Amino acid sequence: MPQAPAPVIAVVGAGFSGVMTALNILRRSAEARIVLFERHTPIGLGAAYASHNPGHRLNVRAGNMSAWPDDPNHFVEWLRRERLGLGPADFATRADYGRYLQSLVTDIAEGPAGAGRLVVTPDAVTGIEPDGEGWRLQCAMGRSVTARAVVLALGNPPPARPPGIDETFAASNAYVADPWRWDATELPSGPVLLIGTGLTMVDMALSLNDAQPGRPMLALSRRGLTPLEHDGAPPLILPAPPANDLSPLEVFGWLRTAAAEHGWRTAIDATRPAAQALWRSWSPPQRQAFLRHARPFWDIHRHRLAPLVARRIAAMRATGQLALAAGKIRSLRLEADGFALCRWRGRGRGENGGYVFRAATVINCTGPAGDVLTSTDPLIQNLVRRGLAHPDPLRLGFDVDHDGRLRDVSGRASPTLLSVGPATRGASWEITAVPDIRGQAAAVAETVLAALG
Ligand SMILES: Cc1cc2nc3c(=O)[nH]c(=O)nc-3n(C[C@H](O)[C@H](O)[C@H](O)COP(=O)(O)OP(=O)(O)OC[C@H]3O[C@@H](n4cnc5c(N)ncnc54)[C@H](O)[C@@H]3O)c2cc1C
Q: What is the pLDDT of residues 174-233, one digit of tens each?
A: 999 999 887 777 888 999 999 999 999 999 999 999 999 999 999 999 999 999 999 877
Amino acid at 115: A
Instruction: Tell me the CA–centroid distance for residue 206 and ligand 1, in Å.
Output: 20
One-character DSSP codes across 149-162:
EEEE---PPPPPPP
Residue 429 to residue 20: CA distance in whole angstroms:
20
Instruction: Tell me the CA–centroid distance for residue 135 and ligand 1, in Å.
Output: 24
- Residue 151's contacts (CB-CB under 8 Å, 6 or more residues apart) are 9, 10, 11, 12, 18, 21, 404, 418, 419, 420, 444, 448
* Local mean pLDDT, 10-residue blocks, the chain (453 residues): 76 97 95 95 87 92 96 98 95 96 93 89 97 96 96 93 90 92 83 96 94 95 94 82 93 93 91 93 94 90 93 97 96 93 89 88 93 94 97 96 96 97 94 96 98 92
Ligand 1 binding pocket mutation candidate from 23, 38, 66, 420 (most atoms within 8 A of CB):
38
Please check whether residue 71 lies inside any domain of the structure. yes
The edge-to-edge listing of strands for the beta sheet with 144-147 is 125-131, 134-139, 144-147
Q: How many domains does the chain have?
A: 3
Q: Which protein residue's CA is at the shortest distance from atom 3 of ligand 1?
A: 48
Instruction: Tell me the CA–centroid distance for residue 246 and ligand 1, in Å.
Output: 31
The residue among 119, 51, 154 whose CA lies nearest residue 397 is 154
As a whole number, the mean pLDDT across the chain is: 93
36 and 128, same domain (yes or no): yes
144 and 39, same domain (yes or no): yes
8 A C-beta contact, residue 116 and residue 16? no
Pocket of ligand 1 (CB under 6 A): 12-18, 37-40, 46-48, 58-60, 124-125, 153-156, 203, 379, 421-422, 432-434, 437
Beta bridge partners of 400: 406
Amino acid at 195: I
73 and 142, same domain (yes or no): yes
49 and 115, same domain (yes or no): yes
103 and 20, same domain (yes or no): yes
Range of the domain at 28: 8-157+369-451
Residue 32 to residue 445: CA distance in whole angstroms:
11
pLDDT of res. 6: 73
47 and 125, same domain (yes or no): yes
150 and 73, same domain (yes or no): yes
413 and 435, same domain (yes or no): yes
pLDDT of res. 114: 86
Amino acid at 104: L
pLDDT of res. 3: 63
pLDDT of res. 232: 76
- Give CA separation, 84 vs 79, 144, 199, 231, 240, in Å: 6, 43, 25, 21, 34
Ligand 1 binding pocket mutation candidate from 96, 121, 154 (most atoms within 8 A of CB):
154
Is the preceding peptide bond at 130 cis, omega within 30 degrees of 0? no
pLDDT of res. 1: 56
pTM of the model: 0.94
72 and 25, same domain (yes or no): yes
8 A C-beta contact, residue 117 and residue 91? no
Q: What CATH code is carried by the domain that includes residue 398?
A: 3.50.50.60
Please check whether residue 243 lies inside any domain of the structure. no
Which of ligand 1's atoms lies nearest the C-alpha of 155?
A: 27
